[in-house]
Amino acid sequence: MTTRHPPRFALAVLDRLLPGSSPLAGDLTEEFERGRSRAWFWWQVLAALGVAAIRRRDEIRPLRLVDLQPVEAQERSRRMLLHFDAVPLTGTNLPGVGGLTVVALAVLVTLLAPVVWVAFVGSMLAGVALGLVFIARERRHS
Protein backbone atom coordinates (compact mmCIF):
# COMPACT_ATOMS: atom_id res chain seq x y z
CA MET A 1 0.00 0.00 0.00
CA THR A 2 1.41 3.40 -0.93
CA THR A 3 0.98 6.46 1.24
CA ARG A 4 -0.58 9.52 -0.27
CA HIS A 5 1.39 12.74 -0.11
CA PRO A 6 -0.36 16.08 0.34
CA PRO A 7 0.18 18.88 -2.18
CA ARG A 8 3.69 20.19 -1.55
CA PHE A 9 2.85 23.62 -2.89
CA ALA A 10 -0.02 23.98 -0.40
CA LEU A 11 2.33 23.05 2.44
CA ALA A 12 4.93 25.54 1.17
CA VAL A 13 2.31 28.31 0.97
CA LEU A 14 1.12 27.51 4.48
CA ASP A 15 4.67 27.50 5.86
CA ARG A 16 5.64 30.72 4.07
CA LEU A 17 2.54 32.79 4.84
CA LEU A 18 1.78 31.40 8.29
CA PRO A 19 5.02 30.83 10.25
CA GLY A 20 4.73 28.40 13.13
CA SER A 21 1.98 26.41 11.44
CA SER A 22 3.78 23.06 11.47
CA PRO A 23 1.26 21.49 13.94
CA LEU A 24 -1.57 22.51 11.61
CA ALA A 25 0.33 21.15 8.60
CA GLY A 26 0.85 17.86 10.46
CA ASP A 27 -2.85 17.53 11.27
CA LEU A 28 -3.84 18.34 7.69
CA THR A 29 -1.32 15.81 6.35
CA GLU A 30 -2.70 13.09 8.64
CA GLU A 31 -6.25 13.79 7.49
CA PHE A 32 -5.13 13.79 3.86
CA GLU A 33 -3.44 10.41 4.32
CA ARG A 34 -6.68 9.05 5.81
CA GLY A 35 -8.50 9.76 2.56
CA ARG A 36 -9.36 13.45 2.32
CA SER A 37 -9.18 15.03 -1.12
CA ARG A 38 -6.72 17.58 -2.54
CA ALA A 39 -9.55 20.11 -2.76
CA TRP A 40 -10.28 19.63 0.95
CA PHE A 41 -6.58 20.09 1.74
CA TRP A 42 -6.38 23.35 -0.25
CA TRP A 43 -9.65 24.55 1.30
CA GLN A 44 -8.22 24.05 4.81
CA VAL A 45 -4.98 25.86 3.92
CA LEU A 46 -6.87 28.83 2.47
CA ALA A 47 -9.22 28.92 5.48
CA ALA A 48 -6.27 28.94 7.89
CA LEU A 49 -4.67 31.81 5.96
CA GLY A 50 -7.95 33.72 6.00
CA VAL A 51 -8.41 33.31 9.74
CA ALA A 52 -4.81 34.38 10.36
CA ALA A 53 -5.25 37.46 8.15
CA ILE A 54 -8.38 38.53 10.04
CA ARG A 55 -6.76 38.05 13.45
CA ARG A 56 -3.57 39.92 12.57
CA ARG A 57 -5.12 42.82 10.71
CA ASP A 58 -4.95 45.11 13.76
CA GLU A 59 -1.28 44.36 14.47
CA ILE A 60 1.40 46.48 12.89
CA ARG A 61 4.32 44.09 12.57
CA PRO A 62 5.22 43.62 8.92
CA LEU A 63 8.61 42.05 9.69
CA ARG A 64 7.38 40.06 12.70
CA LEU A 65 10.39 41.18 14.72
CA VAL A 66 8.34 41.21 17.93
CA ASP A 67 7.86 37.43 17.71
CA LEU A 68 11.44 36.99 18.83
CA GLN A 69 10.90 38.81 22.14
CA PRO A 70 9.88 37.23 25.45
CA VAL A 71 6.20 36.98 26.25
CA GLU A 72 6.32 39.86 28.76
CA ALA A 73 7.80 42.21 26.18
CA GLN A 74 5.17 41.21 23.64
CA GLU A 75 2.37 41.89 26.12
CA ARG A 76 3.87 45.24 27.11
CA SER A 77 4.20 46.23 23.45
CA ARG A 78 0.63 45.17 22.77
CA ARG A 79 -0.63 47.26 25.71
CA MET A 80 1.38 50.25 24.53
CA LEU A 81 -0.15 49.97 21.06
CA LEU A 82 -3.66 49.79 22.45
CA HIS A 83 -3.39 52.66 24.92
CA PHE A 84 -1.28 55.74 24.62
CA ASP A 85 -1.55 59.06 26.40
CA ALA A 86 -1.55 62.30 24.48
CA VAL A 87 1.39 64.51 25.31
CA PRO A 88 0.60 68.23 25.33
CA LEU A 89 3.23 70.06 23.31
CA THR A 90 1.66 73.49 23.71
CA GLY A 91 2.57 74.20 27.33
CA THR A 92 -0.99 73.83 28.61
CA ASN A 93 -3.21 70.83 29.21
CA LEU A 94 -6.16 72.46 27.49
CA PRO A 95 -6.85 71.16 23.99
CA GLY A 96 -6.51 73.87 21.37
CA VAL A 97 -4.83 76.34 23.73
CA GLY A 98 -1.19 77.05 22.96
CA GLY A 99 1.45 79.43 24.18
CA LEU A 100 0.29 82.27 21.91
CA THR A 101 -3.24 81.94 23.28
CA VAL A 102 -1.97 82.21 26.84
CA VAL A 103 0.05 85.34 25.97
CA ALA A 104 -2.96 86.91 24.23
CA LEU A 105 -5.14 86.14 27.26
CA ALA A 106 -2.58 87.72 29.61
CA VAL A 107 -2.45 90.88 27.46
CA LEU A 108 -6.25 91.12 27.38
CA VAL A 109 -6.50 90.68 31.15
CA THR A 110 -3.82 93.34 31.68
CA LEU A 111 -5.58 95.84 29.40
CA LEU A 112 -9.19 95.21 30.36
CA ALA A 113 -9.15 94.14 34.03
CA PRO A 114 -5.80 94.62 35.80
CA VAL A 115 -7.52 93.93 39.13
CA VAL A 116 -7.75 90.27 38.08
CA TRP A 117 -3.94 90.08 38.35
CA VAL A 118 -4.15 91.17 41.97
CA ALA A 119 -6.64 88.39 42.67
CA PHE A 120 -4.50 85.89 40.70
CA VAL A 121 -1.27 86.76 42.52
CA GLY A 122 -3.11 86.86 45.87
CA SER A 123 -4.56 83.39 45.30
CA MET A 124 -1.13 82.06 44.30
CA LEU A 125 0.43 83.45 47.48
CA ALA A 126 -2.42 82.05 49.57
CA GLY A 127 -1.89 78.61 47.97
CA VAL A 128 1.84 78.71 48.72
CA ALA A 129 1.18 79.79 52.32
CA LEU A 130 -1.40 77.03 52.77
CA GLY A 131 1.06 74.47 51.34
CA LEU A 132 3.74 75.61 53.78
CA VAL A 133 1.31 75.30 56.67
CA PHE A 134 0.46 71.73 55.64
CA ILE A 135 4.15 70.83 55.30
CA ALA A 136 4.99 72.29 58.71
CA ARG A 137 2.08 70.48 60.32
CA GLU A 138 3.06 67.19 58.70
CA ARG A 139 6.66 67.52 59.88
CA ARG A 140 5.50 68.23 63.40
CA HIS A 141 3.50 64.97 63.46
CA SER A 142 6.40 62.89 62.07
- 65 and 129: one domain? no
| pLDDT at site 44 | 92
d(CA 112, CA 106): 10
Contacts 24+ apart (CB under 8 A), 108-115: none
Round to whole Å and give the CA distance between 19 and 13. 10
pLDDT of residue 64: 56
Residue type (1 letter), 68 = L
Phi then psi for residue 6, to 5 deg, are -70, 165
Q: What percent of the chain has pLDDT over 90?
A: 21
One domain for residues 18 and 52 = yes
Domain span holding position 127: 99-141
Q: Is 18 in a helix, a strand, or coil?
A: coil
How does pLDDT run along the chain (142 residues), one tens digit per residue? Answer: 567 888 899 888 888 888 888 888 889 999 999 899 999 999 999 999 888 877 765 555 555 555 555 667 667 767 766 655 666 566 666 666 677 777 888 898 899 888 888 998 999 999 999 999 999 998 888 7
Classified as helix, coil or strand, 3 is: coil
Decide if 35 is inside a domain.
yes
Question: Same domain for 77 and 13?
Answer: yes
Domain membership flag for residue 2: no
C-alpha span between 4 and 112 (Å, rounded) = 91
Mind listing the pLDDT tens digit for each residue in 19-54? Answer: 888 888 889 999 999 899 999 999 999 999 888 877
Tell me: do 78 and 103 sit in the same domain.
Answer: no
Contacts of 41 by beta carbon, 8 Å cutoff, 6+ apart = 6, 7, 10, 28, 31, 32
Same domain, 16 and 53: yes
> Are 72 and 132 in a shared domain?
no
72 shares its domain with 105: no
Q: pTM above 0.75? A: no
Report pLDDT for 122.
92
Q: What is the DSSP letter of 56?
A: T
